[in-house]
A and B are shown apart, each in its own frame.
Chain A
Amino acid sequence: MLIQTLVNGISLGSAYALTALGFAIIYRTLGIFHFAHGSVYAFSAHVAYSLITLVKMPLIPSVLLTMLAGGILGMIINFLIYEPLKRHASSGQVYMIASMGASIVLQNLIATAWGAITKVLVLPNLETSLYNIHHIGSAVITMAQLLVVIVTVVALATIALFSKSMIGLSIIALGNDSEVAENLGMKVKAIRYITLAVGSALAALSAVLVSIDLRAVDSAMGVPIMLMTIIAVIVGGTANFGAAIAGGYLIGLIKNFGIWAISAEWDNTLLFIMLVLVIMFKPAGLFGRKISKLGR
């Protein structure tokens, strides 16, 4: 029971960690409260559905293409919304409202393009192996769940390596002080596009993994994940990327243990109580100042 809850929590937390890291990269680097992140997630899930179920493309190219599509959508959002606002030195609130608007428009465009009906992501060739059940002690885990955990760890390790690269360091520098970064001759505009692309690609990766695991894809699926992402980032902390990842895993575990200890009716309430407590007593987030290996 305890192990099963732990397994479930880590699997769910992995998905949250990916979206939270994507959100944190965008938020910390550009200072944008990127509400459209959830819609990028939903869009990516639909792309994955089209590639895997309709086009019947193999899994790995589907995942990579979905990440590419998510990244491109992130750049389009930057081009259409954030860059014009940047040129006019708009305030953070304006960015946030514009991002909310973009999120609503995107959600409706997804419903228009793919239909609002819940779609089932079916893996024609891999179904048997991906949905096989494995035992960890008394707990069970499906291969698809395991895939979420493993791919997330690989992705997080890749991002950690990426953060040491020139582009990664540029992203961190831009987040630390955009004016200094610009004065040092960095191509800040290009870095802004790359930031949106990387952050969105992480949301896309989370979307495709979760969709394979849970099979259901619908146009409104970005809303709950966005809520959890925001809670994860605020609870974890925004001072560095590692804190957001830790926040994601924490939310996944609390959600699962909360349901076990109290009731499924109270899982979101529990998270919001924690959110309020963190904002009141640890406004920098639980891991805001402790975890600093990734990012600042």
Chain B
Amino acid sequence: MTSTTTASTDRPAVPRRPARKPRRPLRFRLSRIAAWAVLVLLMAGTLLPFYWILRTAFSTNSALFTGDQSVLPAEPTWVNFRRVLGLASPEEVRAAGGSGAELQFWLYLRNSVVFATLVTVGQVTCCAMAAYAFARLHWRGRDAVFYLFLSTLMVPPIFVLIPNFVLLSEVGLLDTFAGLAAPYFFMTPFMVFFLRQFFLGMSSELEDAARMDGAGHPRIFLRICVPVMAAPLTTAAILAYVMAWNEFMWPLVAGSDPSVRVLTVGLSAFRSGQPQAAPDWTGLMAATVLGALPVVLLFLAMGRRIVDSIRFTGLK
């Protein structure tokens, strides 16, 4: 992405601005090096904290409490992961400085998976149908209804959190997966907007051809739109999954019971559960690594897709 000025230095035969030529390339190169240095520094600043979680998770609490700040794990060990996963014996747990009451990691992990999967399947299906109606169908009042949907983007989540909590308790769905997933299952304004953008960009040739053959809208949607939109629908599913996985405030109020408690809520309780004792940092960091792992794995597998989708989240 070099500009024309550097290109012209390679071919001295066509000097466009000879007066500026001798000085500019060097300054340009230097500023490029400086900019790369800053960028690398920023990337390091982004990644180092992640390294520090890993380093702590592989250390022992006793080594940490002596103030060991070595770059490599202090007294390297797997015991924290084994503790979090419930594979360590009670003696090991006490020796490692953990408390008796451990995080029920497997249960919370299962709950997070159930919650995020339910939300993703429902949200992408329902919002894709809505996006089809908003982008590919022509009906009176379409834009008005779309903007009404979109206007909910402006409502702060806490405003509807209290009534939604009350609603769930009225119908007896508090502390159930159905109740936990319901507010995100049918739609979020973001997802309707996001998918509509893609459906708007779809070419109508295939659609027209199918209609000629007498296909109704359900068939056009299922047999044409869904296959053509496979890539954006996958991206949407990843985003929905990650957002559900990271959700905290709603599961905190609507799913506090351990049987449906998700990882984010479990992790936050892990911290506040031990007011007097010295905090079990290594256990907490091991749990944190495991809690973020699914998202990181998803990211390693589909990173480019997520990164490329970001332009669509806020911009056309």
Our verdict on whether A and B bind, yes or no, reads no
